[in-house]
Structure formats: structure tokens, C-alpha cells
Amino acid sequence: MARKTTTKSKGSVDKWKLKKMYDVIAPDIFNNVIVGTIVATDPETLKGRTINATLSKLVNSNQHHIQVKLRVTEVSGFKAMTKIDGMELSRAYIGSQIFGGSDLIEYVFKVETQDGETVRVKMIISTRRKAHDAQKKQVRKIAEEILAKTASRSSVDQLIQEIIFGKAGSQIFNKGKKIMPLGRAEIRRAEVLKRKA
């Protein structure tokens, strides 16, 4: 039986040959490092695409447990420029913060930044011993006030930067430990709900 052969029509074009590679560029706060490459036939289709990168890759550190979410906002030549859309701690890291006899307290807040963006923040606080409800409420109030105040005087990028590098968590820890013995106070996840541009 003769083997069937297929031939491309003269007008057909190999789609892969039309694809081009674009470098994904991190925002200014990460010194515009290249975090990877993406492929597309039309650069306009890259806008809005999201890429996850560990903080260790962005700043050459050992903080592999922090994932930073970047979103492509514009394309210049073969460079896909990005903005921060959020961050998240790995589950393995969170699990490592739980010890016998301790509580893991979680809070969720929405804060508005100086430039009018809304960010949903998920906070985790580990205690060195079991916490009472009254203590939890006091620490929640401290966390909410610090995050709201920080957001109100920061752009969305500045806020996410403070969260990523632990500044916001440190402020909450230092005040919260006066209420009850704390192990850690960290932002588990931060997500920009809607960007104006």
C-alpha cells in the first residue's frame, strides 16, 4: 500500500517561523533584570500576560519562598516591560512556621493606595503559644491600621515593595508582640485587584 504524503500549499506559512522571542523585563525596583522570555507572533498579544518569578531571581538572594507576580504592560522592541501585580509566600514556607502549641492567625484586608489602587492583603501571624480571642482582635486592629496607613501614603508599587521586603510585616510584628508573644508576622499574599494603567 502506497504511503500517503502531505504537502504544504504554496500559500501556507510555518506558524512557528512567524513567532518571535521577547525578553521579560522586571520593573525599576528590580533594576529591570531579565526574568525570562516569552514567544508571540504579535507583540500586542503579550500585554496583560502574567509571569511569576521568585524574589531570589529578581534580586539575586536566597529568598526562594517569595513568588512575585509580574504583568506585561507594554512592549518596546523585543522587550516586554512589566509591573508588579502581587506576591505570595510558598505553602512549604508557611508550613515551616507552625510549631507545636502555637496558633497561626490569618487576616484579610483591602487597602487603597495613594494612587487610587486597591490591594487585597492576606496576613499570617504565628504565635509562640495559644492566643485568646481578645488578643487576636487587638493584633488584627494593629495590622489593619499599619497596612492602611502605609498604603495611604504609598503608590501601589511602593506598597508591594514594602510588603515583599518585609518592612510592613516587621512593623506589625514589633507592635503586635506587645500584645502577645509572636513567632512571625508576614504578608502571605498581596494582590492588586485592578490597575488603572
Report CA torsion sign: 78, 26, 28, 118. Answer: positive
What pLDDT score was predicted for residue 95?
79
State the total domains in the chain.
2
Asked whether residue 3 is assigned to any structural domain, the reply reads: no
Range of the domain at 165: 91-194
Q: Do 115 and 156 meet the contact criterion of CB atoms below 8 Å apart?
A: yes
**Per-residue pLDDT tens digits for 139-194:** 999 999 999 999 999 999 899 999 998 899 999 999 999 999 998 899 999 999 97
Q: Name the E strands within 90-181.
A: 104-112, 118-127
What pLDDT score was predicted for residue 118?
95
Residues 190, 96, single domain; the answer is yes
pTM greater than 0.85: no
Residues 84, 95, single domain; the answer is no
What pLDDT score was predicted for residue 13?
54
What pLDDT score was predicted for residue 142?
95
Sites in the chain below the pLDDT cut of 50: 1, 3, 5, 10-11
Q: Do 110 and 120 meet the contact criterion of CB atoms below 8 Å apart?
A: yes
Q: Do 27 and 70 meet the contact criterion of CB atoms below 8 Å apart?
A: yes
Domain boundary among 36, 63, 88: 88
Residues 110, 160, single domain; the answer is yes
Residues 48, 63, single domain; the answer is yes
What pLDDT score was predicted for residue 197?
58
C-alpha span between 193 and 197 (Å, rounded): 12
